[in-house]
Structure 1
Amino acid sequence: MATVGVLRETAGRERRVALTPDGAGRLRKQDVSVLVEAGAGSRAWFGDIDYEGAGAVVVTREQVYAESDVLLCLHPPEDVVAARPGQLLVGLLGPLTDLDLAQRLASAGITAISLDLLPRTLSRAQSMDALTSQANVAGYKAALLAAEAYAGFFPMLMTAAGTTRPAQVLVLGAGVAGLQAIATARRLGALVTGYDVREAARADIASTGAAVLDVSVPRGDGEGGYARTLSEDEGAAQQQGLDAAIPRFDVVITTAQVPGGPAPRLVSGNALAGMRPGSVLVDLASTVDGGNVEGSIPDTRVVTDAGITIIGAGNLASTVPAAASTAYARNLLALLTQLMPRGEVVLDLDDDVQAAVVVTHGGRLVNPRVRAALADFKEIRS
């Protein structure tokens, strides 16, 4: 029977863990051995004693690498070179944005599976969709973070001291995170408006009871349920419409991302200049490469000279570590159930789910999307 190993996350602000004690217990019921690095779950409030109680064995990081057939993580481990050829590494590896990592994994003979490549249109893979589960957590927390940072109330309050108007909230991007942010902000009593370039997403916004912002831009539906990159003219028209609309709102939450590409800039300096002092922006797409909001800095809260708060929040799911880890572990269990039907890893690259998420195998880069991205990158460099 295969042995599954759980690595402690090495990213500085990451608090999640790839497998919870409950998940470890479920694997043990299938006679799968589970090794957990000491302290792997401590930042999500899962102690080593909890894992041992579920039947896992708590060991050193070196032992996890040496004795596991399958390695579970969220982000690519900084010491992934410690993995041996033939080991299976499963996580949110980001191979479309880190092509060098994909090539190194292939050269090392590691079989890598990245759940962020899973197409959301595959209904049979919904239980494995880690991007959706983590985006759901992030959208919920974004609304709470915005409400905490906003100097007023989200709901309308009628008191003896008078009536306070509700906050006007705009959510840009109506994927999973955006729709959850809309729903949570509405539960908090705000007047919420949503915007997305995709036609289906506009219908989703309306279904929540929120208003739909229309800036007269053509449909931006792309492959796999994601938005496509807009043309230069379309992007300019969108920006003009957003620049005019954004200053009307007290709070703006942005969630728009394009797989394998930079996040679109939606809130420009012009829009910021028109916003009222005390306004709040929460950018869920904020990374070192930019984000949806001009001036957002990852994991940083900035108050501009004009009194506008900009919060770079690209890793919000990590701030709700217990719930996010539980959801992620269930995604991994769904995948492992398919990969290990009898306790041993069985790869089938003709299977549509596995073909979508397997990045490297047998010393080769086998994923078509990653290979295409690498070819495009080499063409640009040449």
Structure 2
Amino acid sequence: MKIAVVRETAPGETRVAATPETVKKFIGLGAEVAVETGSGESASISDADYEAAGASVSPRAKSLDGADLVLCIGGPDAGSLKGAKPGAILVGALDPFRRREKIDGYASAGLEALAMEWMPRITRAQSMDILSSQSNLAGYKAVVDGAATYGRAFPMMMTAAGTISAARVFVMGVGVAGLQAIATARRLGAQVSATDVRSATKEQIQSLGAKPIFVENVAGIEGEGSGGYATEMSEDYQKAQAELVSGHIAKQDMVITTALIPGRPAPRLISDAQLATMRPGSVVVDLAADAGGNVEGCVAGQNVVKHGVTIIGASNLARTLAADSSALFARNLFNFLSAFWDKEQNRPVLPDDDEIVKAIRLTHGGKVVNERLTGPAS
């Protein structure tokens, strides 16, 4: 069983899909690991580190030659994977909805593509969930980047010249990223409040010492969703939430938005008119920037100033913490593959009827097979 680790080529991508730690673990399972030259450079992992862990290091063509399994962060073009065995497994964050042409390419090339971001939110898959591990880091970094842009102190500071009030931070969307943002802002000494369409998050917000801000007594809330994700809200709820948010964000120094709906554009949470109510010097960090943004006027990867408020279009913040995000991503991949590893066959065996496999398998046998891309079978 040969595992190939490819170097990421997407602009700004700093992560790598395997670390010396996971290389050793794969070798311990009986696999051969080949790493493309320079794969770990941006994550502070040298080729010598991989070789010390037992991997071979070589240019892409040689590392892919005869590979049964290819590990990546973002999905490379199928054409760049020539040399891998027919039916080789490709595992990574493949962005199926927005990169459908690549998925079709994997099918045509006979690759079995597995999208790790579609990992179901079930107990046995928690250690495999790349969205959770990467979102955790993104939530932390959102606060750090926001604090660096905000021109005032975060904690309350008492001096002989007077007292500085603690910054007020409002987190919209209390998933993994939102919870980490709350915790980080609290550690920095801010007054923190948060909201979500899922009523079950109230206790989580309170457990972190923040104040829950929720719409009450409005029927038709559809936010619970399935698999741990939020869904779209009812019209009545959207109207009530907009009124509540408008009154609240005007008092905030920083707002962090994290709302995403899988397969859909990010929901609009803050309008230009609402931004205008915030005081000059305030900061909004939009973690949904890559999906269109929760904030009107947000531009992915850029800082935009409107009405004196800086909107940070946070684009894949996990990759700004390359060493840590790589370590977590690589462990997610190992945890997934080792859970299906067959010692006798010396390879992962992926049953067609397994809940995890059905959720993340995109292509198989030369076809796109995932119902989220093809629609339910007739």
Q: TM-score category by the smaller chain?
A: over 0.9
Moved more, 141-150 or 214-223: 214-223
Residue 68 of structure 1 is matched in structure 2 by 67
Superposed, which structure 2 residues align to 1:261-300 within 5 Å?
261-287=264-290, 289-300=291-302
CA distance in 2, matches of 1:372, 1:348: 21
Asked if residue 140 in structure 1 is aligned to residue 140 in structure 2, the reply is: yes
State the SS of the aligned residue for 2:255: strand
Aligned identity (percent) is 47
CA distance in 2, matches of 1:21, 1:9: 17
Offset at residue 360 of structure 1 (A): 0.9
CA distance in 2, matches of 1:63, 1:239: 56
TM-score, normalising length: structure 1: 0.93
State the SS of the aligned residue for 2:312: strand
Offset at residue 352 of structure 1 (A): 1.4
Return 5+ residue gaps in structure 2 as ranges: none
* Change in CA separation of 1:360 and 1:315 when aligned onto 2, cut-off 3 Å: same
CA distance in 1, matches of 2:90, 2:377: 20
Residue 7 of structure 1 is matched in structure 2 by 6
CA distance in 1, matches of 2:235, 2:116: 31
Asked if residue 89 in structure 1 is aligned to residue 90 in structure 2, the reply is: yes
Residue 206 of structure 2 is matched in structure 1 by 206
State the SS of the aligned residue for 1:248: coil
CA distance in 1, matches of 2:300, 2:8: 19
CA distance in 2, matches of 1:168, 1:332: 38
Return 5+ residue gaps in structure 1 as ranges: 376-382
Asked if residue 153 in structure 1 is aligned to residue 146 in structure 2, the reply is: no
Instruction: Judge conservation of contact 2:249–2:274 (CA < 8 Å) in 1.
Output: yes
> Aligned partner of 1:263: which letter?
A
> Aligned partner of 1:286: which letter?
A
Offset at residue 370 of structure 1 (A): 2.5
> Aligned partner of 2:175: which letter?
G
Instruction: Judge conservation of contact 2:78–2:106 (CA < 8 Å) in 1.
Output: no
When the two chains are superposed, the root-mean-square deviation of aligned CA atoms in Å is 1.8
> Aligned partner of 1:325: which letter?
S
CA distance in 1, matches of 2:341, 2:156: 53
Moved more, 187-196 or 200-209: 200-209
Moved more, 142-151 or 241-250: 241-250
Asked if residue 244 in structure 1 is aligned to residue 243 in structure 2, the reply is: no
CA distance in 2, matches of 1:164, 1:128: 43
> Aligned partner of 2:313: which letter?
G
Instruction: Judge conservation of contact 2:78–2:105 (CA < 8 Å) in 1.
Output: no
CA distance in 2, matches of 1:89, 1:200: 36
Residue 312 of structure 1 is matched in structure 2 by 313
Instruction: Judge conservation of contact 1:153–1:167 (CA < 8 Å) in 2.
Output: yes
Instruction: Judge conservation of contact 1:99–1:374 (CA < 8 Å) in 2.
Output: no
**Runs of 4 or more consecutive aligned structure 1 residues displaced over 6 Å after TM superposition:** none
CA distance in 1, matches of 2:369, 2:77: 23
Residue 188 of structure 1 is matched in structure 2 by 188
State the SS of the aligned residue for 1:261: coil
Q: String of CA shifts for 1:91-140, please: whole Å, max 9, x gaps.
A: 011213333333332222110111111111x1011110111000011111
> Aligned partner of 2:263: which letter?
G
TM-score, normalising length: structure 2: 0.94
Instruction: Judge conservation of contact 2:34–2:57 (CA < 8 Å) in 1.
Output: yes
CA distance in 2, matches of 1:183, 1:102: 37
Residue 234 of structure 1 is matched in structure 2 by 237
